[in-house]
Amino acid sequence: MWAFIKKEFLYIFRDYRTMLILFGMPLAQIMLFGFAITNDINNAHIAILDHSKDVVTREITRKLLSSHYFILDSYLKSDKQIKPAFRKGEIKEVVVFEKDFAKKMTTEGKAHVQLILDASNPNTANILNSYTKGIIDTYLFHNLLEEGKIPIRVDVQSTMLYNQQLKSVFMFVPGIITVILMLVSAMMTSITIVREKELGTMEALLVSPIKPGIIIIGKVIPYVVLSFINLIIILLLSQFVFGMPIRGSVPLLLGESLLFLIMSLSLGILISTVSKTQQQAMMLSMFGLLLPTILLSGFIFPIENMPVVLQILSDIMPGKWFIIIIKNIMLKGIGITYFWKETLIILGMTVVFVGMSIKRFSVRLEE
Amino acid sequence: MNDSREKIIEVHDLVKKFGSFEANKHLTFDVYKGEIFGFLGANGAGKTTAIKILCGLSNPTSGTVVVAGVNVNKNPETVKKRIGYMSQFFSLYNDMTVKENFRFYGGVYGLSSKEIRNRTLFFLDKLNMRSYENMLLKNIPLGWKQKLAFSVASIHKPDIIFLDEPTGGVDPITRRQFWEMIYEASANGITVFVTTHYMDEAEYCERVSIMSEGEIKALGRPRDLKKNYQTDNMNDVFLKIARNVE
């Protein structure tokens, strides 16, 4: 068994491609999701059409631009310039102040600001809309407060629990951990086992006195170790680069990850028993595991919004349950009493997959 | 053949069925200690099935198989320690060095580090490959790989070595050299059980069996078989048997 583990490590370290997939991919993914693929809005280009040009509109403009959300693209001079400005595609929003804005505010008690948004990306438009509104409201409120003219109003204060800055990286990290653990464990193990089949070395090993179970365990252990190192790298990165907290117990997080890891490994073994070539194993893990996990586990798309059929389908995605567990531990900081059900589901899946792969493995020997 | 020689493989009335398909139909034959036994047959004749049963990878549907004095069906693990196996794929790891391959398989067969080192040096000296021990296997020519594979398969001093089409894709000179290794092993008392598609190789065997459609159609010394089928080469013997079937 020790000989096996040593050999497997030798093999992994000599094959730079494997190493690249093992350690390059997690790094690349977390950087991509953390920095590039983000729902947070920074530096959206806007244009201002100020018909009034008085103290208040200038102050509001200044407030908008001093938030880091917006960058001033241009001052427009007339309504006619709005459409061409959008067509150029650079700007996402035009803020229009009506004529005599400040005057109307003091005399009539209300004045109009029009926000025109590029809704070709509805999410961005919505977010920009509420950011702008928020900034204008705050300004007006403080302004009126200073002048002692507080109108009767209800001030709604929302508190975003667990992720106060609404950072999307908080949403992505649990997903990435899930995907990476799944991918590395399932894909790498299935590929490495199938490679032995292709090379013909599996035959030689089966003829040797070593029991098939030991062969598989020996092959799998290095990947458990490497996946675990991966997990720790991801956690460290998300904590120190993106400031993602681990509010719950770290040993519990690692324990649950280990369980999920074993589940993925047994899936990998199962895949290896049904595939004849490395490519086949890779395809199976990519399309059979990776895509469904990304799309259906709640990693990117909220499960509640899916059609019922897909919701049911998402229930059999191990990733879904694991994401719930990690979010609970990392963001809410709660203990196993709150997610023992999810843990049990993953445990059950592990047992089923291990059983199935043992059965498949012995059947294959007979063929 | 003289029955006084020690039997190392005894197969009696071996039947293997997959569903209703009979891959092996009542095989009965013996192999003697130190013999080079050729196990011939066209593709799909049931050779591979029989070898898997002999190696303890698969259970017979009925019949008994005794290898090295052990009933394979009952104690496959004991049998596995006594046999070596080399396939046409050589079963070596390309990303490991020559020495590491020896060390790995030595470990698989439970040899001590000292034994592994001794055996490795023994084979490398014999093959004149001492200076290549730290070379990655993928950089080693095919003919040498083949000899290494044979050495690795015998690292644990097995009683029997199973060679499953060991000379596929190798030039005639290399094949010849390889057969010299086989003769040497046989002279040292190791039984060699070999399958091949090359009929000139069949001539090198002490005895051959020719399988077709799950049955052994002919069994004996190449010389006797040629006489029985009234021809001067094994190729014709093989073709005649195959043709009778069709």
- Span A157-176, pLDDT tens digits: 555 566 555 566 677 778 88
Q: Output the pLDDT for position B84.
A: 92
Q: Is B105 at the interface with chain A, CB within 8 A?
A: yes
Q: Is pLDDT of B10 > 90?
A: yes
Instruction: Please tell me whether residue A50 adopts helix, strand or coil conformation.
Output: strand
Q: Is pLDDT of A153 > 70?
A: no
Q: Is B116 at the interface with chain A, CB within 8 A?
A: no
d(CA B232, CA B153): 34
Share of chain B above pLDDT 90, in %: 37
Does B59 fall in a domain?
Answer: no
Identify the closest residue of chain B to A366 by CA–CA distance. Answer: B58
Please tell me the total count of domains within chain B: 1
Q: Output the pLDDT for position A225.
A: 87
Does B211 fall in a domain?
Answer: yes
Q: Residue holding tokens 């050495």?
A: B151
Does B117 fall in a domain?
Answer: yes
Q: Tell me the average pLDDT of chain B.
A: 88
B177-209: pLDDT as tens digits: 899 999 999 999 999 999 988 888 888 999 999
Q: Tell me the average pLDDT of chain A.
A: 80
State the best of A199, A208, A215 to mutate against chain B, taking most chain B CBs within 10 Å.
Answer: A208
d(CA B98, CA B116): 13
Mean pLDDT value across residues B236-244 = 82
Domains in chain A, start-ordered, CATH in brackets? 2-37+167-366 (no CATH), 44-146 (3.40.1710.10)
Q: How many CB atoms lie within 10 A of CB A321?
A: 26
Q: Is pLDDT of A108 > 60?
A: yes
Q: Output the pLDDT for position B1.
A: 47
d(CA A158, CA A176): 28
Which residues does chain B have within 8 Å of residue A201's beta carbon, measured at their own beta carbons?
89, 91-93
A111-138: pLDDT as tens digits: 788 888 888 877 778 888 888 888 888 8
Does B50 fall in a domain?
Answer: no
* Residues in CB range of A314: below 8 A, 6 or more apart: A296, A297, A298, A303, A306, A320
pTM of the complete model: 0.72
Q: Token digits for A264?
A: 């993925």
Does B209 fall in a domain?
Answer: yes
- Please indicate whether, in this complex, the C-beta atoms of B80 and A3 are within 8 angstroms of each other: no
Q: Is B115 at the interface with chain A, CB within 8 A?
A: no
Mean pLDDT value across residues A220-232 = 86
- Please indicate whether, in this complex, the C-beta atoms of B95 and A206 are within 8 angstroms of each other: no
d(CA B92, CA B153): 10
Q: Output the pLDDT for position A209.
A: 85
B178: CATH: 3.40.50.300
Which residues does chain B have within 8 Å of residue A206's beta carbon, measured at their own beta carbons?
57
A311-324: pLDDT as tens digits: 888 888 888 889 88
Task: Report the sign of the C-alpha dihedral through residues A96, A99, A105, A109, in that order.
Answer: negative
Does B30 fall in a domain?
Answer: no
Query: In Å, how far from its chain's centre is CA A112?
Result: 39
* Residues in CB range of B112: below 8 A, 6 or more apart: none
Identify the closest residue of chain A to B154 by CA–CA distance. Answer: A208
**H, E, C per residue of chain B:** CCCCCCEEEEEEEEEEEECCEEEEEEEEEEEECCCEEEEEECCCCCHHHHHHHHCCCCCCCEEEEEECCEECCCCHHHHHHHEEEEECCCCCCCCCEHHHHHHHHHHHCCCCHHHHHHHHHHHHHHCCCHHHCCCEHHHCCHHHHHHHHHHHHCCCCCCEEEEECCCCCCCHHHHHHHHHHHHHHHHCCCEEEEECCCHHHHHHCCEEEEEECCEEEEEECHHHHHHHCCCCCHHHHHHHHHHHHC
Domain extent, residue B141, equals 35-44+76-245
Q: Is pLDDT of A289 > 90?
A: no
Does B80 fall in a domain?
Answer: yes
Q: Is pLDDT of A367 > 60?
A: no
Which residues does chain B have within 8 Å of residue A197's beta carbon, measured at their own beta carbons?
none
State the best of B18, B86, B93, B135 to mutate against chain A, taking most chain A CBs within 10 Å.
Answer: B93
- Give residue A152's pLDDT band: very low, low, confident or very high (50, 70, 90): very low
Q: Output the pLDDT for position A187.
A: 85
Q: Is pLDDT of B62 > 60?
A: yes
Q: Output the pLDDT for position A363.
A: 61
Residues A193, A215 contacting (CB under 8 angstroms): no
Q: Output the pLDDT for position A205.
A: 85
Share of chain A above pLDDT 90, in %: 2
ipTM (interface pTM): 0.82
Residues B140, B98 contacting (CB under 8 angstroms): yes
Q: Output the pLDDT for position A18.
A: 73
Does B202 fall in a domain?
Answer: yes
Q: In terms of Cα–Cα distance, which of A265, A290, A257, A259 is closest to A190?
A: A265
Q: Is A19 at the interface with chain B, CB within 8 A?
A: no
Query: Which of A140-144, B75-79, B232-236 shows the lowest mean pLDDT across its residues?
Result: A140-144
State the best of A5, A7, A215 to mutate against chain B, taking most chain B CBs within 10 Å.
Answer: A7
